[in-house]
Structure 1
Amino acid sequence: MKNNLALIMLSGVISLSSFVSSAVASDSKSNEQQVYRAKDLNSFVGPENLFTGHVKVDMLFPENDVANYSAAYVTFDKGARTAWHTHPAGQHMIVTSGVALTGTRDGKVIRFAENESVWCPPGIDHWHGATPEAPMTHLVVTASKDGKNVIWKEKVTDEQYTSGQ
């Protein structure tokens, strides 16, 4: 009896996996593993109109037709930060080195350190960057909605940057 129940459950799992696999596979590449190599991906310096200070972005993987999110390491020199922006589908930020700051329009600034993460919900105006004392790198995983993953706004003032510290 126990063996029959296990066999029935296993059959159900296999059937469900087949159904999910066929539902998810939208093209021939979506059912194959893909390797993204650093040499094939974009690395770039954050443009002055979107960042204060020196910022380097190293893409890890792009979104694709099955997964609508991408990831990158973003390294901020001390005092560097983003402009105000929102993410239509939200963003996860995970500090891999140093201490990060992230602020919202209400003046609240959160500090988070190596191996700590922050979830920024969709549509929240925010900025993020390094502390004035030291550089910081974080891994960002950003989803997109209707083909957009970020909406950029004006630059963060020095007063806004230092207000919550």
Structure 2
Amino acid sequence: MQLITQPPTSKAPAEMFTGDAWWDVIYRGEEPSRARANMVRFSPGARTTWHSHGLGQSLHIVEGVALIQARGGKLIEAHPGDIVYTPTGEEHRHGATPDHFMIHLALWEGDDTTWLEHVSDAEYGAARSTTRR
């Protein structure tokens, strides 16, 4: 068994995020592990750029309301306890609503994330559906 020393919280880079977001690296497996886990905290209105993951990604919403969208798909609201899976190579984005903070646990494998363009204000403000019934 090993107690792993965690790196300090880092501000998410402006090339990958609009607005203020911070992450804590929870786990970064060393070969042969490819497992990755980050706790990401978004300020109101903050969001990722469009991006995709070489082996997919799962998001577990911890606090607040997340706005998540696959490119060309519906913009959905996800709530605490919801888990959203994005398959390999699917371009998507996620972030906070304009009026609340949001925290999610991001789980993925490997380092092959492709970061694309920023989400436009029109895309961000699109009509949304909810995971709540």
TM-score with structure 1 setting the length: 0.73
Matching residue's letter, 2:121: D
- CA drift of 1:162 comes to 1.1
1:63 is aligned to 2:7:
no
Q: Which has more radius of gyration?
A: 1
TM-score with structure 2 setting the length: 0.90
1:156 is aligned to 2:119:
yes
**Structure number with higher relative contact order (C-alpha < 8 Å, ≥ 6 residues apart):** 2
- CA drift of 1:142 comes to 1.2
Provide structure 1 residue ranges, at least 5 long, that are not aligned to the other structure. 1-32
- CA drift of 1:103 comes to 1.1
Please list the CA deviations of residues 46-83 of structure 1 after superposition, one character each: whole Å capped at 9, or x if unmatched.
11121110000111111211321110100000110000
Matching residue's letter, 1:53: G
* Contact 1:107–1:164 (Cα < 8 Å) also in 2: no
Q: Could you say which structure has the higher strand fraction?
A: 2
What secondary structure does 1:134 align onto?
coil
Q: What is the percent sequence identity of the aligned residues?
A: 34
Q: Give the corresponding residue for 2:93.
A: 127
Provide structure 2 residue ranges, at least 5 long, that are not aligned to the other structure. 129-133
Q: How has the CA–CA distance of structure 1 residues 149 and 34 changed in structure 2, closer, same or farther, with 3 Å as cutoff? A: farther
Q: Could you say which structure has the higher helix fraction?
A: 1
Tell me, in whole angstroms, the C-alpha distance in 2 between the residues paired with 1:143 and 1:112: 22
- CA drift of 1:111 comes to 1.0
